[in-house]
Structure 1
Amino acid sequence: MAVITFANTKGGAGKTTAALLLVTELLHRKYRVCVIDADPQRWFSRWYEGASLLPNFTIETYVSTSTIHKIIHERRSQWDFVIVDLPGIQSPLLASAVGLSDHVLVPIQGSSMDAQGGAQVLDMLRYLDRKAGICIPHSVVLSRVNPMITTRSMQAVKRLLTQQEIHVLDTPIAERAAFREMFDLSRPLRRLDDLPGRNVQKAVTNASDYADDVLALVAPGLASKSGPLSNRTYTPIETAA
């Protein structure tokens, strides 16, 4: 089954929001999903603890570099999707999780600081390819985009990514109040439809289009382009992390 990792070494880049939107859309489509919450802030786990019981969904927390390999290999055989939410800092978990992924999603806001945090992840992926011969499919997802305005910073980030031939999802994640309300109320996005003045339907459309983009790249049973995870070998990459 498919392992998708969300990574950006800068906190506040919209990483957990991007992960949660994808998870709730996958659950809406009846997929079985396991989340590995490797972020010490445990935002995903806190959301899960406050949410009503959701079918076909489980979460693993308090993982470490010594346990994440075993957990991912066990869970990928039991669930349609394993979603990994990494810390928003440089961490040894980055190298471990990225090397076990079928696809890595790098959320980036339209700012130079977020682009730098994303660049560290992209550098890690290049290092794996160059030094270990492991090519991990990856994409950037633009996050917290003002749906009405395209800023100069966002345009600069898009140009930089295009110049470096980095794949960017067609659908950016907009800045919407409903996405914040998911965490505040511990509800899936589609259960916020009773909130007035939140443009929930526009938020749902955004999330659905975003999930479509991801599923076009990776789906349950889709073999990784870099080969079976069990056959991968790893080169020490602490310097790149």
Structure 2
Amino acid sequence: MKNILTYISLIFIFSCTSTKQKEKLIGNWYSNSDDNYGFFEFQFYKDSLFIYDKLGKSSALWKVNKDKIHLTGINGFTNKKKLTYSYNLNKSNELLNLKLLGDTIIQLPELRKAKNAFDFLKKAIDLEIELPKSKEQLKSLSQPKRLNFNIYAGFKNKKLVVKTDSASDLKNLEKDVIKFKNDTRNELKKFLRFNLIADKKITQSQIDSIKNRLKETSIKIIFRTYKNSQIDYNDNTRWYGKNE
């Protein structure tokens, strides 16, 4: 009888541990790597997982056991019926590292937990940004994204911060632009543009000052990102706005 009770207790403990592990993973996880993966998202629900990447959407059932995530019932861009990932969370449970296990171990880019795609961007750049709404018709910032030199203007600790993907300020903007242009094929250089992602609370004089700083460089096209009632960037960050 004692052995049976011990066995039941162990099952209960392992079940509770597994449930706690799953609760930490449930939610949306994003990565926007510059390598072959690009932008992708893992959506963990109680029993199902949806993965969105440049190939499209795939789905699976999932279970967690210690440091492994086991996928079954896979429906997507693989002919495998089962997959296993090893995973590791940081102390705050906000960053997720995954390795796809098999004949070759594949390390995925680090994923960050966020409410939606735009929330992921704000966490990645460490700024608070609330985009302005526009009643005018917005145009899509055409692809490819590698032609966009992103400028982020938002707030950190209530202070205005203007930064880029590679720098925490605009002090060396000219050098950064030269490097950006040197990494671009000659026939595409005329299409390079700044993509200004700026908070709605920034004053017009501050916006003008930022634009004047950008105009000091050899990139002359400034595109500013807006949102409207149909475009909110919750699902993706395909930018819409207008040239300014």
Is the structural similarity TM-score above 0.5?
no
Q: Give 1 or 2 for the bigger CA radius of gyration.
A: 2
Q: 1 or 2, which has the higher helix percentage? A: 1
Higher relative contact order (CA 8 A, sep 6+): 1
Q: 1 or 2, which has the higher strand percentage? A: 2
